[in-house]
Structure formats: structure tokens, C-alpha cells
Structure 1
């Protein structure tokens, strides 16, 4: 097969990133306050619902991944899941974004759960499919690097919708912005999912199909290389998660920067991640994916210290520093998924050498990694917010926080990301599947092919 993926195939495969990634910001930033403030659900209920759905959603991913591994149809292995996921996601988006005042907690729970299941179906089918598009070490960095850039574009586009709608329709609170984001995602789902299903080739042939087997889950989790990857992914998800969870609090209270200016900083942060993505791809091809992932971990952790060291009132310098802090934000997600694609090859070779059936676990591998990433993004709020309460921090706008509360917030914003970034770099540096090792793995696979 051709080792380099054609641009039209790569763009079509990346297409579903747009609706899927566009949901990330609304689900964290805009929908919770909309449900609590505009739709009338109690604040505590909203917090419980959004957290509970995420917790329930995490174990669903391995189940979906195992089902994908056993799928063999005339349409291929991942196309049916992509198409079905598009329908499920569209239904969930409609129910969640178009909900009316007076909505019940039961309605909100099942609507959110439907949305997350559809999100997982598309996300897992897409990422596992991406591992099949090319067996080449460097090309996989390009594939998932482009995927990350598409995610960043979607986040930037949806970030622009609420302020535009607030200016166009200032008298209706958050409702116009939420509805517009919903319509934006709904319009993208059929266009991108159908394009991927019609244009993208199947890629490398799948291994032996099978049903759901707990033995496969145990075998995947027992692989020390998988444990290393999962540990690094968890840490590299927690680091930016802490930044996001404490971002507004830190800049509006410690730095005394207006919320609108802080939002502009956030836009520069994501833009820097988008523009830097090609550089990380080139670095991965030249120096190795694991080395660039280690560099990203150190960069993300150290950037917090640099931001803290800037004097108060230096908004321009802060903006530059925060943009530099965003430069590595796109790297871990695509580098670790490209590394997982290499690990899938190594696992197939291990099974062949042991004389075991070449059971398909690509979907399961990516599902477990996705579950780890979701856990990594759920941890920061669950840990940092209670600690902020213990140190006496008041999150209300304009609240007078004393020096000890601000010091506690600053410590959480700076120190844990630094330590976790260093730990992640140490972990991922030990990754054994280098470009040279992967070349040997592919050669052995080709030589021993049945």
C-alpha cells in the first residue's frame, strides 16, 4: 500500500473532527451555566449531571472499541460506526442544545448521555481508522498531526460564535449563542461523516474478527508499553486540564485582568497550538515521537512558571507568554495516538511470534486511551476546586479574596502542572518503539505475513 496518505483522503478523514471537537468547549464552558441560569435547573444538579454522565461514559468507550474490533461488513470495519455515530450524535446535539426552560434533570441526563455515546462512536471509529491509513512511522505523525489541527480549527470556530450572537441578539442571554453552536454542529455532522465514509479508503486489512472478550482487555492492559502510554496520556491530559480549570480565576483575580481580555488570551493560546502543530509533526519525524512528547510535557509544565514570573500589569508580555504556553498544547494528543498505532503493530507481531491468532484490538486500544484522556480532563476540576474552597477562595465575580486564598490559587496554577509535566516527560522518554524499532517490526510483519 502507498505509505503516504493522499491529501484528499487525509482531509476527508479529518472532517468529522469538526463537529466532534466543536462540542468540547460548549460542554465545558457554555452549557453548564446555560442549563443552570437560563433553563432553570439547580446549580448543584447541573454539576452532578455533567459529572455523572462523563463518569458513566468512560467505561462505554472500551465496550464500543471491542465491538468495532469485531465488526466486518461490506462497508468496512469503521464506516458503519462512523455513520451510525453521526445519527446518534445529531439526535443528542438537538436534544441538548435546543432544550427549553423548565427542562427536567432526567431529560438533561439522557440527552447528554446520548450525545456522549454518539461522540464516542465517531471519535473511536475515526482514530482507530487513522491507525490503518498508513503503516509508516513518520506518516502516522502527519496523519494525527493534521487531525489535531482540525480539532484546533473547530475549537476556534465555535469559540467565535457566542460573542457574535451576543452582539447580534443582546437581549436573550446565552440562548442565541447556545442554539447557534448547536446548529453549527448539526450542519457539520452529515457533511463531514458522509465525506469520510465516501472518500476515505479502508487502509490496511484488519486482523481476525471476534466478539467482546475480557481476555483482550486484560491482555492490552497487562502490556507494559500500554501502561507507559496510558500513564503519559493521563498526566499530559491533567496538565492542560489544570490550566483550563483555573484559567479565568487566575487571570481575573491574581492578575486582575478583565474577563474579556482573558478570553482574548485564550484565543491566542489555541491559535498558537494550531500554528505550532506542523512543527511538532516535523520534529517527530526527525527526532522521534516519544522525544517530542517528552518535550511537550516539559514545555507545558514550565510555561506555567514563566507566566507566574511576569510582573502584574504587563498584559502584552502576558499575552506573548500565554501564546508560547499554548504552542505545545496540540502535541501530546496526536503524538500519543500515533505511538499507539505503532504499538498496535508491535502487539500484532508479538501475537504472531507466539503462534496466537492475530486478534483485532485496534479499536480497543484507542478506546482505552480515550477513556484515560477523559479521566485526565475530569480530574482537574474534581481536585482543584475543592482545594480552592479549603483555602478560602471565593469564585464570585468581584469577590475580595485575601492573600492566602490568592497564594493557594497561584500554587495550584503553577506547581502541579510543573511537577506533572516533568513526570510525564520522564515516563514517555522510556518509550521503546522508536523509528528504528518500528521499521524492524514492520519488516518482521511483512516477512511473516500469512
Structure 2
């Protein structure tokens, strides 16, 4: 189905699935880097908690300016390959190189090594994440269709995370020791990056929205994005909803083994349940949004997630069967956080294009990625040094005091609940609903009809209908 050729706004399932494939490695990396890589550096490579936490926080702070710059450049890009396709092709090898360096890191690495390769890693994820999100927002124009599209994208990301979580379970069955598990994850993700992108890059149509004859670059237009109330609210929501689950992920292995009495394998199984729940949670959350609207759905899922997290502390220790329902519940609800925000950002992007006459989607997603990066820096940069200050010892085989375990428990439960509930509160009173968005789209369609038809680049083998790095100012 050509989404730009017919009058239908509904994308075919093969088109959506093909586009969503490139989220497989990003979903796998989200779990591997947040849950397994930092403890691996601390427990198996001899890097101190302070160095690990300091490296992550330093990189996130150094990296905060990258996404807005990328967003501005991406919105202005014109190539014979398309706009977003070009950037996806550029970002893939950057990410592959950093994945190899981090997951195959030698024993004895220090702060400089970690900071250097983490910077390359986050550059690669920024390029791919921004390109994919903005491409998706242009691929789907209708309010509810965007929930459907980003729901499938989220589900594919969950599948990538699930496969990564199966690696520790399979490694134990194959007799591989703990020092080999994280490098195995790295090799899997390394090859998944190019394989998963081939179909998407070759076959997903790319639609470039027409622009008015306004100047291509006006500082006041960019400043207006920074102070736009809806974008500020989504910025804060993204920050809170990244920090909450990220905080939990950073402490997950320590909490479930030392506090809840599970083995490392059992903890991985429960995390697998949590992530697997997202395969159902993402599309069903998108379906719920058709009835409740996106912002109300976000408030419902954040509240339900917090209730489920409280249940973890009252479950019997070491009982996998009792923990499964609570973990499934939390994972099901968390699956809706990111996809609702991404779909809401796409709607705001239409409003911005109507106001300014120019595409700003890449920059809008870049500003939201900035929020996620700031939150991600604090998730590890605060929790790890905090645990060390409270006397918790993460070294394999170490015996921690009852006070240190209690501090670990409070940190694991309180932080995520506070931030997740704050994220839901950020969209109370949201007004950009389906009815208002439909009017925005009608106004855009009317104005777009006055300009050249939006070009579609069907595949890399077709003749593009867009200029090469077009400088319309010249």
C-alpha cells in the first residue's frame, strides 16, 4: 500500500511491520545497556560503582546538546535517498562500532574508555531514534492511526528486548559463565542492527511534507518551540517517565537478588515476563487510546504501574510464581508510556507546521530525546553512587548488612513511583485531542494543496522526486 497515493489514511500491516523492524535493536539495547551493562562493568570488569555512575552521568551531560543540533540539521536535509532514510543509513555503522567497543570491552577499562565509547554509542542511538520517530510521524498523519503505528513500533522494540533477556537463560543451559553473557548480548545486537534495517530502508515509503515559502531558518521559530506549553509538558513527562523506569532498571539486578532472594537466572526470567508483557501492552494501550484519548490513557497506565510496583514488596521472597503477575502487570502498563508520548508529539508537530509553515518534527523529537537523556543520566549517575554512599556492595559474593539492603529497597520502590506519577500528572488537562487534531489536519491539507504535492520516495531503487540537499534559500 502506498500511503501517499490513495485517499486512505490507514497504513497496511506489512508497511507498519516493515517500518517497525529497525526498532528491534534499539529495544534490545535499551534493556541490555540499562540493566546488564553497568552491573557487568562493576561486577565482572572491576570498574568501581563511582566510575560507572560518573561515566554515564558525564556522557549524558556532554550529550545533551547533540539531539537539538541533529534535529535542526535533519529537518533541513534533502538528499536523493530521502531525508530520514539518509540519516538511518548514517547512524547504523556508528551504533555498530560502539556496541562492539562496549560489549567486548577488556578487563581494566577506565573512565576515559567508558566516556569515549558511550559518547559514540549515544550519538548512534540519537541518529537512529530521531530519524525513526520523525519518519513515523510523517508516515502516518491521522490521530488514531499514529497510536496504531507507534504501538506496533513499541511491540517490535519489546520483542528485541525479549530476545536479549533470553540470552542469560539460554547461556546457563549451554554452560556459559556470567562473564560471557553480556558479550553474547553484544554480538547479537551488533548483527541485528544491519539485518533489521534492510527491509525498512529499502521498502518503507518516505513522505516529505510540502513547505511554505517562509524563510528556512528563523530563530524565533525555534525559540517558540522551547516555550510552547504543550511541548514543555511533554518534555517534563518524558523526563519523569524515563527516570522512573530507568531508576528501577539500574537497581533491578541488585534488588531482586539481594533483597527479594531470587537467583540471577530467576531475576532474568521475571524481567523477561516484565518485558514480554509489553508485546501485549503496547498495541492494547494504543487500542485503549482510541476510547480514552492519548493523554487519559497515559494517566491511567502511570497510576496502574505505580500500584503494581508497590505489590512487589509484599510478595513472598524467592517465589517466582507469586512474582509473575506483578511483573506482568507493571510491564504491561509501562509499555504505553513512550508510545503515547511519541504519538502526542506527532500531533503537536502538525500544529507547529501549521503555525510556522515548516517541518520541525526532527527537532521536536530531538528536544524530547534531550529530556530522556537528562533523565537517563540521573537514573544511573545518581542511583549507583547513592548505593555506594549507603554502604551497599555490588561485588559478586559480597555480604551486605540489613541496613544496606533496606536502603536498596527504598531506593528501588520510592524513586520510580514518584517520577512515574509525576509523568502522568504532566498531561492533566491536555487539549490536543482527536477533534482538535482533525481540524489541524484539515487546515494543513487545505494549505498543502497550494504547494507542490508531497514527494514520495518509494524505495532506494526508485527515482526520487526531491532535490539534492535542496537549499531553497539559494
TM-score normalised by structure 1 residue count: 0.89
The separation in 2 between residues aligned to 1:210 and 1:163, in whole angstroms, is: 56
Cα deviation 1:83-109 (Å, max 9, x = unaligned): 111122222223333444565654544
The separation in 1 between residues aligned to 2:132 and 2:316, in whole angstroms, is: 44
Q: Report deviation, 1:339.
A: 0.4
Say which is worse superposed, 180-189 or 365-374, in terms of deviation. 180-189
Secondary structure of the equivalent of 1:8? helix
Alpha-carbon contact 2:302-2:334 (below 8 Å) kept: no
Residue 257 (structure 2) aligned to one of 247, 252, 268: 252
Q: Residue 262 in 1 paired to residue 267 in 2?
A: yes
Secondary structure of the equivalent of 1:189? helix
Say which is worse superposed, 162-171 or 230-239, in terms of deviation. 162-171
Root-mean-square deviation (CA, aligned residues, Å) is: 2.7
Bigger relative contact order (CA 8 A; separation at least 6)? 2
Structure 1 residues without counterparts, runs of 5 or longer: 352-357
Q: Residue 83 in 1 paired to residue 89 in 2?
A: yes
Q: Which residue matches 1:196?
A: 200
Structure 2 residues without counterparts, runs of 5 or longer: 451-474
Q: Which residue matches 2:366?
A: 367
The separation in 2 between residues aligned to 1:431 and 1:9, in whole angstroms, is: 31
TM-score normalised by structure 2 residue count: 0.84
Q: Report deviation, 1:202.
A: 1.0
Cα distance change of structure 1 residues 96 and 421 upon mapping to structure 2, 3 Å threshold? closer
- Report which of the two has the higher share of helix: 1
Secondary structure of the equivalent of 2:78? coil
Cα distance change of structure 1 residues 115 and 346 upon mapping to structure 2, 3 Å threshold? same
Aligned residues between the structures: 441
Q: Which residue matches 1:355?
A: none
The separation in 2 between residues aligned to 1:437 and 1:247, in whole angstroms, is: 41
The separation in 1 between residues aligned to 2:164 and 2:91, in whole angstroms, is: 21
The separation in 1 between residues aligned to 2:324 and 2:255, in whole angstroms, is: 14
Secondary structure of the equivalent of 1:76? coil
Cα distance change of structure 1 residues 109 and 392 upon mapping to structure 2, 3 Å threshold? closer
Q: Which residue matches 1:140?
A: 146
Alpha-carbon contact 2:34-2:250 (below 8 Å) kept: no
Secondary structure of the equivalent of 2:131? helix
Q: Which residue matches 2:445?
A: 446
Say which is worse superposed, 435-444 or 143-152, in terms of deviation. 435-444
Alpha-carbon contact 1:16-1:193 (below 8 Å) kept: yes
Cα distance change of structure 1 residues 147 and 423 upon mapping to structure 2, 3 Å threshold? same
Q: Residue 52 in 1 paired to residue 51 in 2?
A: no
Q: Report deviation, 1:122.
A: 1.2
The separation in 2 between residues aligned to 1:410 and 1:183, in whole angstroms, is: 33
Alpha-carbon contact 2:53-2:381 (below 8 Å) kept: no
Residue 185 (structure 1) aligned to one of 166, 185, 189: 189
Say which is worse superposed, 438-447 or 204-213, in terms of deviation. 204-213
Alpha-carbon contact 2:309-2:417 (below 8 Å) kept: yes
Q: Residue 290 in 1 paired to residue 290 in 2?
A: no
Alignment of 1:365-444 (within 5 A): 365-389=364-388, 391-396=390-395, 397=397, 399-402=399-402, 404-444=403-443
Q: Report deviation, 1:211.
A: 6.9
Cα deviation 1:232-264 (Å, max 9, x = unaligned): 111122221232233333333333333332222
Cα deviation 1:370-421 (Å, max 9, x = unaligned): 121222233233334444455544445552423x544443333333433333
Residue 20 (structure 2) aligned to one of 8, 14, 17: 14
Q: Residue 126 in 1 paired to residue 132 in 2?
A: yes
Q: Report deviation, 1:446.
A: 2.0
Q: Report deviation, 1:33.
A: 4.7
Alpha-carbon contact 1:12-1:192 (below 8 Å) kept: no
Q: Residue 323 in 1 paired to residue 328 in 2?
A: yes
Say which is worse superposed, 239-248 or 433-442, in terms of deviation. 239-248
Q: Which residue matches 2:73?
A: 67
The separation in 1 between residues aligned to 2:163 and 2:296, in whole angstroms, is: 31
Cα distance change of structure 1 residues 251 and 44 upon mapping to structure 2, 3 Å threshold? closer
Cα distance change of structure 1 residues 116 and 213 upon mapping to structure 2, 3 Å threshold? farther
